[in-house]
Amino acid sequence: MVKAVVLGAAGGIGQPLSLLLKCNPLITELSLYDIVNTPGVAADLSHIATPAKVAGFLPPDEGLAKALTGAQVVIIPAGVPRKPGMTRDDLFKINAGIVEGLATGIATTAPKAFVLVISNPVNSTVPIVVEVFKKHNVFDPKRIFGVTTLDVVRASTFVAEIVGDLSKAPDVVVPVVGGHSGVTIVPLLSQSSHPLPSGFSEEKLDALVNRIQFGGDEVVKAKDGAGSATLSMAYAGAEFALKVVNALEGQKGIIAPSFVHLSADPAGGEALKKEIGADLEYFSAPVELGPDGVVKINPLGKITDAEKKLVEAAVPDLTKNIQTGIAFTKKSNL
């Protein structure tokens, strides 16, 4: 029996994400919350012949608390999408307050739930959730995750395209570490389960790394002001949620990159800090999942000199992004 909750369920990511979760036979209860339209979205999804019982909630009459009661997995895609010309800093100013309010609801109603943060910018919104949980004395670093899966999905797809066989895309595994924006996204292509073709030039490799790092911009531009990566993000969010639910149900050996507080595995976190050469509180690394959340933070392992430079380049932005999230919670007098 697994209850999942989507906060921001009526939006561009929230609706397709809710659909994919409804299709997951392991989920038996699905609560949808947003400021508008959730009763309609819930009614629509409730007609689908899968086990999950669906309910929609709005802010009046303690709707958030009702949606969250008994939740085991909470996914947060709430917030506004990025528009052309909008930086992630611009996005942060809007989405930070939204995430803070929802995190307060989770901390007070479902503090033991696994929290999966999709709302951008993830490098800053995850620290906001953590600070809210600390304020309410319910912080467990093993249970709060920044969803970076879209970077992994893009890397798998783009590598399959280069290999020349998109049918291989579901099987291609490329660890993507660091964070979840621009240069903080570090694809470890040298560790790809499906190697790049021999003779793949340095110039082409740089272009591939750049495409993985800035794939979101590609979608924003193509949508021409009508939104950002919503469908692929919903797919990625559902994929990570499936891994969390499978781990919750007792499946062993599940490993996926996620942006986590490194105290989730103190020994693994300290080893990772030595690898990256920086004392960061958060980092996206391959994480082993279990019934209680993070079991182990895995090291980066053997990486190329070029990848080491990418990690080094990620650290300043990551540091700034993390501090921005923490500073926001201090300023808002949590």
180 among known catalytic residues:
yes
Of 47, 180, 194, 261, which residue is the catalytic one? 180
Q: Is 220 in a helix, a strand, or coil?
A: helix
118 marked ligand binding residue: yes
**For residues 319 and 331, what is the distance between their CA atoms, to the nearest angstrom?**
18
Residue in 143, 129, 15 with CA at minimum distance from that of residue 73: 143
Q: Is 156 a known ligand-binding residue?
A: no
182 is in an annotated binding site: no
Contacts 24+ apart (CB under 8 A), 130-134: 130/261, 131/325, 131/326, 131/329, 131/330, 131/334, 132/100, 132/103, 132/104, 132/107, 132/329, 132/334, 133/103, 133/106, 133/107
Residue 234 annotated as lining a ligand binding site? no
Residue 34 known to bind ligand: yes
Distances (CA, A) of 79 to 107, 113, 120, 156, 176: 19, 21, 8, 27, 24
| CB crowding 215-254: b at 16 or more within 10 Å, else e | bbbebbeebeeebbbbebbbbbbbbbbbbbbebbeeeeee
Q: Is the link from the previous residue into 141 a cis peptide, with omega within 30 of 0? A: no
Is 120 known to sit in a ligand binding site?
Answer: yes
Tokens standing for residue 333: 């007098």
Residues that constitute the known binding site for NAD(+): 8-14, 34, 95, 118-120, 233
Residues that constitute the known binding site for substrate: 82, 88, 120, 154
Q: Which residues are catalytic?
A: 180
Residues that constitute the known binding site: 8-14, 34, 82, 88, 95, 118-120, 154, 233
